[in-house]
Structure 1
Amino acid sequence: MLLHLASWPEVEAYLERSTGVVVPIGSTEQHGPNGLLGTDALCPEIIAREAGEEADFLVAPTFNVGMAQHHMAFPGSITLRPSTMIAALQDWIASLARAGFTRIYFLNGHGGNVATLQAGFSESYAAWSLRGEACPYRLKAVNWWDLPGVQAVCRELFPVGDGAHATASEVSVTYYGYPQAVKTADMSPKIAPTGSFADAADYRARFPDGRIGSDPAQASPEKGARIVAAAKAALIGEVRKFFGA
């Protein structure tokens, strides 16, 4: 059940049987020459949507712009400052809690969100702690690639060249969800270099085509289907445990 395609009476009825909701969260940023700018938001959205349909839980609209300052030298990337993202998270959490949701599970698709997302959770809990009141909700964040069993599938499919950014696995997931958007591009070297970076200019200088350690030319919708199947099954199990906690 997708919140944005439901009416308020349908959400009210859902809350009578469950107070849990999954929020896909990601980013809009470059993913190399053949990766979609929405990859980090699309991956958790695709997985959560399929899991929600199968297990009948509510999926919120995707929080699709995250902390991506280091990608801003590539056209099309959009970022929030960490402080802006934390503030936005407070309003999303407070809105869902106001409606009666007590278990809010963020399925994350962007590594750059992790620190800010956790800081946002701390900010949310702090308001209750400082008032001396018990917080009525619980928050959880999990990266989709860290769901049980997902990495094993990715390693089987891409023993070499999955990489750290613009990975073959994440590009495959988006190609599965949007086969009409499959793209091809010449990439050299075949496997991109690895390393660290600081700001956007440093990133572009070190990784000119946007990839880090990856060969996303290996990506395909068929491989994405296998990854999504594993992630969906794991997410259903994780969500059932969290909602029932």
Structure 2
Amino acid sequence: MRLHLMTWPQVEAYLAHSTAIILPIGSTEQHGPTGLIGTDAMCAEAVADQVAKALGVVVAPTLAIGMAQHHMAFPGTMTLKPSTLLALVEDCLLSLVRHGFDRVLMINGHGGNVATINAAFAQTQMELDRLSPRPALRTRLVNWWETPEVMAASVRMFGDAVGSHATPPEVALTWALHPDLADPHPLVPAVAPTGAFFGAGDFRNSFPDGRIGSNPSLASPAAGEELLKIAADEMTRLASDFFA
């Protein structure tokens, strides 16, 4: 169930028997020469939708723009400042709490969001401490690509070419969703370099095609379908325990 496709009476009826909701979050950023700019948001949303179908839980609208300042040297990337993202997440959580949601699972598709989301969780709890009676709220953040079974499957499929950005697992998942956009042509070098970076300009200088340690040419829609099922199954187990 998508929150934005429901009416308010339907939401009110849902809250009478469940106070659980999934809030997907991703990013709008470059993913190398063959990865889609919306990759992180699409992956998080796809996994969230599968979990929602399995558990009968509502999914809030995806927060599709995250903290991606380090990708801003590549056209098409959009970013929020950490302070803006923190305020956005906090305001979303407080809105949901106001209506009675008290279990919020955030399924994340972008590593650059993690620190700010955790800060938003803490700030939201501090804001709730000022209210009397204090509303209950439990939050959890899970990065879909870092769950044990997904990581094991990624290594099985792609070996040491997974890398850390524009990875074949995330690219494959988006190609499963949009097979007409799949572009597995060989890249040079096949596996991108790895290393540290400092800011957007240094990122592009160090990784000129946008990849870090990855070979997304190994991706395929079929691999993406398998990874989506693995991620959804594992996330459904995590979500079921959290919402209980």
TM-score by length of 2: 0.96
Look up the match of 2:52: 52
Which residues of 2 match residues 37-48 of structure 1 at below 5 A?
37-48=37-48
Residues 14-67 of structure 1: per-residue CA shift (max 9 Å, x gap): 111110001110100000000000111111101111221122111111011000
Q: Work out the CA distance in 2 between the residues paired with 1:35 and 1:165.
A: 10
**What is the RMSD of the two structures over their aligned residues, measured on CA atoms?**
1.4
Write out aligned runs for 1:146-225 (5 A): 146-225=146-225
Paired-residue identity, %: 46
Letter in 1 for 2:225: A
- Asked if structure 2 preserves the Cα contact closer than 8 Å seen for 1:110 and 1:143, the reply is yes
Aligned-partner Cα distance in 2 for 1:37–1:143: 18
Say which SS state the counterpart of residue 21 (structure 1) adopts: strand
**Equivalence map 1:10-29=2 (5 Å):** 10-29=10-29
Question: 2:177 and 2:201 mapped to 1: Cα distance?
Answer: 32
Equivalent position SS for 2:107? strand
Q: Contact 1:162/1:214 (CA < 8 Å) preserved in 2? A: yes
Q: Distance in 1 between matches of 2:122 and 2:133?
A: 15
Distance 2:58 2:117 in 1: 21
User: SS in structure 1 opposite 2:9?
Assistant: helix
Of stretches 180-189 and 15-24 in structure 1, the one that deviates more from structure 2 is 180-189
Normalised by the length of structure 1, the TM-score is: 0.96
What residue number does 1:82 align with? 82
Count of residue correspondences: 244
Q: 1:130 to 1:4 in 2, by over 3 A?
A: closer
Q: Does 1:32 align with 2:27?
A: no
Please state how far the C-alpha of 1:148 moved relative to its aligned partner.
3.9
- What amino acid does structure 2 have at the position aligned with 1:63? L
Moved more, 126-135 or 183-192: 126-135
Q: Structure 2, unaligned stretches of length 5 or more? A: none
Q: Is this contact kept in 2: 1:33–1:185, CA < 8 A?
A: no
Q: Provide the residue aligned with 1:116 in structure 2.
A: 116
- Kindly state the Cα deviation for residue 68 of structure 1 after the two structures are TM-superposed: 0.3
Q: Which runs of 5+ in 1 are unaligned?
A: none
1:92 maps to a residue whose letter is: C
Deviation at 1:234, TM superposition (A): 1.0
2: CA distance, partners of 1:67 / 1:229? 27
